[in-house]
């Protein structure tokens, strides 16, 4: 039996001697590499926090104390130490372990975490709540009270919410620990002045003037005697770790570090000291993203969240470590993200007014190529979606044509800026919403289910969806010309369907759908299937499944705002039943827009069926399984179409 197999809870971990924890860290790394190679998932972030996670659970008791994760994609070691090894076998698959913290899985997870910057603020809330309930740690009155730890990593400390959290954390008068997992990386290379500050700090072997006055600080802060002892015990190197002029000191947080995030005895030593500290503290821990897998260490961006892959020995006779292997990543085909990246570069080549931006996701959104080719016109601003959109508004005000590429789920963080600084000002800010709809293994924290509902509220906004690569390019071209309003195009985390790629894609006209069955006259139709985005192609498949039983017309709706109201009226007045299909929540989506059109145009006799994402959060699984389980696949659409004419799939033709 492996050592990891004996760990069913952190209590089992704490029963081990410290000198065996290195063996455990090796087993955890091997387990993560093996599992992610089968299912895909977040690899490099988790490999980098193995020792840190072991040390945290060794020192604190998080069945009682509070552990708040930022960027929840660094939680796999935590889950393996808290009784979820059985679930890990089905990582990111239906019925298996979520790739993010999940209170539904374990009481050790306090929040479902998928967006950056939140841990410090939620931790402040829990710290204040424990104080009000008389449960917080106090070295004099409640030595067995709850401690609070926020684990922050992958450069999410630069997020605006993190800044707000730090501003309030400094007002606490109790134990509060922020562990800064500084791996020199965001999801890709970190950006901004704060990232440069940490770079300078890491490059200074003596940490400069942080060393000066450290002992004086220790003597004058509550609990300083404990760190003073550590100062004497650990020797000269430790004299530098209390930072007199640290950036965090301005928020009222004593700062310790940087320390080695892969040396377990050192981590335990400092965490033990921090555990007894009775005021807010930052422990700055230096780690290596991708630690233990050489190829992930060299290319942490590529292996941040890879698809399933295979490790192949470069030389079968060479008994080197796993890291010496090469990696073959499985690929299903050309993605919408890649298609967008190429289309963006084409736009920038044709129009020197086009500029582009992303928030810490140059590879994830496809903007990396534009940044490489046009470094003066394309930027990665780090994990700062709100800033990114406001910066785009500023660029638009100067007469440029900005495109912001962002995951649909992360756009939610910038909606206020889309309203105040873009739409209200009549500025042409363009939103390219990747990962719209179901996202597969990332699950509920990342589904893009409310972008249409948000953007439809903005007067004059144009909200589109791409069903394939040609339509994506046509939509982007229309957006390029819209200089007086917010526009958006949404597309999924999926491969592009190639069936229409050889045909000329009709140009997008605002508020006009495209018929995919032009040989059928509306007067001959019994049912009209209106699909938004890839759902139009699922609808086309459905219509062919039942073509001998019902006459179905199919449209690529193209626009969720404004919709093709003239088409809706023609269909309803011709007595054609309508089925709308979309990857979006039922509230505020395309189907609701069609229903609203029927009401406003007095089409009370409309027969309307709306298929959408369900009014609940959908758990992690494959994207195809999510689409099927939620009744949006071709078979379910065919069933809905038949129901409109009183038939069912179970009936004989």
Q: Which residues are catalytic?
A: 289, 385, 413
Around Cβ 93, how many Cβ atoms within 10 Å? Answer: 19
User: What distance separates the 2 farthest-apart alpha carbons in the chain?
Assistant: 89
Q: Number of C-alpha atoms within 13 angstroms, CB side, residue 462?
A: 26
Token reading at 8: 């069913």
Token reading at 62: 């998080």
Token reading at 620: 């992690």
Q: Which SS3 state, helix, strand or coil, does residue 312 take? A: strand
Continuous H helices in 276-379: 294-298, 336-350, 362-365, 368-373
Residue with tokens 């609070």: 148
Between strands 514-515 and 552-556, the pairing is antiparallel
Per-residue burial over 382-416, b if 16 or more Cβ lie within 10 Å, else e, is: bbbbbbbbbbbbebbeeebbbbbbbbbbbbbbbbe
The residues, ordered by sequence, that sit 6+ positions from 107 with a Cβ below 8 Å of its Cβ are 63
Token reading at 91: 């990582």
Can you say whether the dihedral through the CA atoms of 513, 517, 519, 523 is positive or negative?
Answer: negative
Q: Residue 594 gets which letter from DSSP?
A: H
Tell me the residue length of the chain: 653
Between strands 514-515 and 148-153, the pairing is unpaired
**Short-list 344, 310, 342, 341, CA closest to 327:** 310
Q: Which SS3 state, helix, strand or coil, does residue 128 take? A: helix
Around Cβ 137, how many Cβ atoms within 10 Å? Answer: 24
**Short-list 32, 31, 622, 37, CA closest to 329:** 37
Distances in Å between the alpha carbon of 393 and those of 401, 405, 460?
A: 9, 14, 16
């Amino acid at each position: 039996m492996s050592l990891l197999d004996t760990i069913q809870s952190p209590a089992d971990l704490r029963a081990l001697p410290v000198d065996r924890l290195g063996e455990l860290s090796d087993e955890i790394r091997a387990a993560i590499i093996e599992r992610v190679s089968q299912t895909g998932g977040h690899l490099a972030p988790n490999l980098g926090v193995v020792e840190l996670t072991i040390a945290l659970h060794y020192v604190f008791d998080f069945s009682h104390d509070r552990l708040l994760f930022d960027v929840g994609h660094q939680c796999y070691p935590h889950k393996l130490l808290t009784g979820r090894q059985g679930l890990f076998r089905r990582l990111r698959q239906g019925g298996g372990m979520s790739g993010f913290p999940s209170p539904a899985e374990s009481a050790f997870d306090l929040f479902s975490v998928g967006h950056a910057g939140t841990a410090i603020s939620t931790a402040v809330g829990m710290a204040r709540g424990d104080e009000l309930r008389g449960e917080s740690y106090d070295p004099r009155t409640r030595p067995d009270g709850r401690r609070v730890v926020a684990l922050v990593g992958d450069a999410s400390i630069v997020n605006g919410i993190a800044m707000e959290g730090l501003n309030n954390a400094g007002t606490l008068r109790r134990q509060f620990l922020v562990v800064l997992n500084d791996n020199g990386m965001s999801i890709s290379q970190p950006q901004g002045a704060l990232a440069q500050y940490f770079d300078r700090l890491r490059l200074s072997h003596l940490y400069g003037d942080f060393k000066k006055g450290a002992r004086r600080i220790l003597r004058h802060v509550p609990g300083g005697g404990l760190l003073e002892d550590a100062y004497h015990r650990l020797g000269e190197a430790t004299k530098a770790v209390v930072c007199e002029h640290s950036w965090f000191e301005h928020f009222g947080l004593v700062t310790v570090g940087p320390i080695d995030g892969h040396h377990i005895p050192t981590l335990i030593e400092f965490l033990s000291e921090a555990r007894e500290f009775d005021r807010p503290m930052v422990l700055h821990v230096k780690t290596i993203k991708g630690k233990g897998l050489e190829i992930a260490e060299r290319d942490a961006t590529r292996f941040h969240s890879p698809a399933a892959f295979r490790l192949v020995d470069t030389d079968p006779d060479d008994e080197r470590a796993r890291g010496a292997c090469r990696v073959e990543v499985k690929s299903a085909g050309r993605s919408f993200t890649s298609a967008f990246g190429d289309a963006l570069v084409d736009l920038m080549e044709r129009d020197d007014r086009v500029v582009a931006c992303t928030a810490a996701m140059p590879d994830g959104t496809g903007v990396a190529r534009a940044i490489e080719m046009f470094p003066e016109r394309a930027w990665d601003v780090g994990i700062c979606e709100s800033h990114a959109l406001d910066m785009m508004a500023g660029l638009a005000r100067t007469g440029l044509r900005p495109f912001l590429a962002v995951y649909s789920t992360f756009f939610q963080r910038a909606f206020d800026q889309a309203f105040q600084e873009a739409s209200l000002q009549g500025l042409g800010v363009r939103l390219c919403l990747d990962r719209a709809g179901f996202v597969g293994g990332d699950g509920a924290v990342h589904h893009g289910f409310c972008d249409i509902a948000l953007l439809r509220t903005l007067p004059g906004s144009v909200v589109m969806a791409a069903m394939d690569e040609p339509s994506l390019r046509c939509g982007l071209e229309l957006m390029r010309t819209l200089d007086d309003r917010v526009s958006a195009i949404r597309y999924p985390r999926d491969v592009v369907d190639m069936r229409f790629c050889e045909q000329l894609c009709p140009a997008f006209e605002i508020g006009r759908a495209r018929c995919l069955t032009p040989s059928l006259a509306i007067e001959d139709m019994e049912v009209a299937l209106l699909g938004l985005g890839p759902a139009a192609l699922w609808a086309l498949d459905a219509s062919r499944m039942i073509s001998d039983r019902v006459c179905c017309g199919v449209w690529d709706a193209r626009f969720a705002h404004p919709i093709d109201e003239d088409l809706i009226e023609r269909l309803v007045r011709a007595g054609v039943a309508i089925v709308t299909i979309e990857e979006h929540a039922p509230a505020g989506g395309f189907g609701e827009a069609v229903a609203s059109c029927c009401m406003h145009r007095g089409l009370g006799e409309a027969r309307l069926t709306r298929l959408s994402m369900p009014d609940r959060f959908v758990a992690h699984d494959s994207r195809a399984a999510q689409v099927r389980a939620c009744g949006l696949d071709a078979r379910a659409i065919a069933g809905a179409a038949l129901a409109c004419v009183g038939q069912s799939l179970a009936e004989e033709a």
